[in-house]
Amino acid sequence: MAEIEKKPVGIMETVLRDAHQSLIATRMTTEQMLPIVDKMDKVGYHAVECWGGATFDASLRFLHEDPWDRLRKLRDGFKNTKLQMLFRGQNILGYRPYADDVVEYFVQKSIANGIDIIRIFDCMNDLRNLQTAVKAANKEKGHAQVALAYTIGDAYTLEYWTDIAKKVEQMGADSICIKDMAGLLLPYKATELVTALKESTKLPIQLHTHYTSGVASMTYMKAIEAGVDVIDCAISPFAMGTSQPATEVMVETFKGTPYDTGYDQNLLSEIADYFRPIKDQALESGLLNPKNLGVNIKTLLYQVPGGMLSNLTSQLKEQHAEDKYYEVLEEVPRVRKDLGEPPLVTPSSQIVGTQAVFNVLSGERYKMVTQETKDVLSGKYGRTVKPFNQEVQKKCIGDTKPITGRFADTLDDELNTLEGEMAQYKEQDEDVLTYALFPQVATDFFKYRDAQNTKIDAKKADQADKSYPV
């Protein structure tokens, strides 16, 4: 019998970014990460995801840490492993579209500070919103990975996905990621999708999913058999639930097969032992909700990502309207359809979810309309796969003429203006980018940093005085 060709699957480890974002609201500190970096660096991971997504906002807002400083420290520690980040296309790591000069500068600084692979996605899968970031990553000699936000609906056919993959390859991407943020990709659908993508493009294919709906490990198995090159996993204490499948489980599953990773289970076990007390502490403090660790089959029924489900719950709780939960869940797909059936991922998931809450609580659909819903219907977030509901569009934006081109083309360069606004706080070039993303949160952080520096200076002066006896 002919020997099957060896094709080891790569694993991208998410514990330093998506895993703790999904389970403990991105609260892991740099101090908690650094002691284990040396061991993680020996595994042989395809890459470690450690930056982007909500890490930036949470570092500043809740942990009083400089995210750029975290990146530099991780880069110093990871001598042999590629570092990866998640990047929201024209929205960077924020919630609005930015001018091209800010996007380009952010990519440049991310790579200069240690990022190797930039995973770039757009919440509408509008490729025009990815071009600037991809070109900038190419220019800086970084690896530009384009992530296709996976969703289901009659517009999202195999032809849709293969067509978009070919365009991504022509755009200059180095690899493609199927980004299944809600855990909607079923095992046999993964076989179909990966097979089709492999036939239509030469680029490596990576698969990202969440365990929310309970099918993720099976989906990975079928995808790997169909030829997927890399899967995203989390070390076991921070795996499962709304996070990714466990790294060790996948390593063991493919041991002795053509897909064998070759990773050392003893080393992975030591890494798991390190993260377990951090998880236990999060459980004890209430930061990790045990509900996030279970399977939520509503994900498949309502096509709503796990993070969006918890957002809806908290919004309804604030309004003392928890009894409206199922009404809101049923309203979500209707709002999504009205808005052109976009994938539900940051920020489109928040926009659709909040509008669904308003529609149910006000007793009349689109009586109250958020600015973001108006922006979607005005074309500011990009082109949707299906047309908007024209009656809803008219009710929400009146006679405003929607933008049909790329919204960023209407924006003037922003860097100089932003620099002027925050000049008094600037200690490093990267500070202007921090301010660009979260002006108020950044300003509060800069003030905190100044106060800390003043304390350190005072302490040094005090010590200097004591070292010269009178």
Instruction: Give the residue from 16, 145, 27 showing the smallest Cα distance to 73.
Output: 16
At residue 306, the pLDDT reads 67
Q: Which two tokens stand for residue 364?
A: 């009349």
Residue 1 in this model has a pLDDT that exceeds 50: no
Sequential DSSP letters for 197-235: HHHH--S-EEEEE-GGGS-HHHHHHHHHHTT--EEEEB-
Q: Residue 37 contacts by C-beta under 8 Å, 6 or more apart in sequence?
A: 74, 77, 78
Sequential DSSP letters for 355-393: HHHHHHHTSSTTSS--HHHHHHHTTTT---SS---HHHH
Amino acid identity of 28?
A: M
Classified as helix, coil or strand, 119 is strand
Domains delineated in the chain: 10-290 (3.20.20.70), 304-405 (1.10.472.90)
Residue 47 is inside which H or E element, if any? strand 47-52
- Tokens 């005090």 identify what position? 462
Q: What share of the chain is helix, strand, coil (3-state, %, to 5)?
A: 55, 10, 35
Residue 100 in this model has a pLDDT that exceeds 90: yes
Average pLDDT, the chain: 94
At residue 397, the pLDDT reads 97
Provide Rg for the chain, Cα atoms.
23
Q: What's the average model confidence in pLDDT over 105-123?
A: 98
At residue 217, the pLDDT reads 98
Cβ proximity of 178 and 145 under 8 Å: no
pLDDT in tens, 339-356: 999 999 888 988 999 999
Give the integer Cα–Cα distance in Å for 103 and 433. 9
Produce one character per residue of 306-329: b if its CB has 16 or more CB atoms within 10 Å, e if not.
Answer: bbbbbbbeebbeeeeeeebeeebb
pLDDT in tens, 29-52: 999 999 999 999 999 999 999 999
At residue 295, the pLDDT reads 87
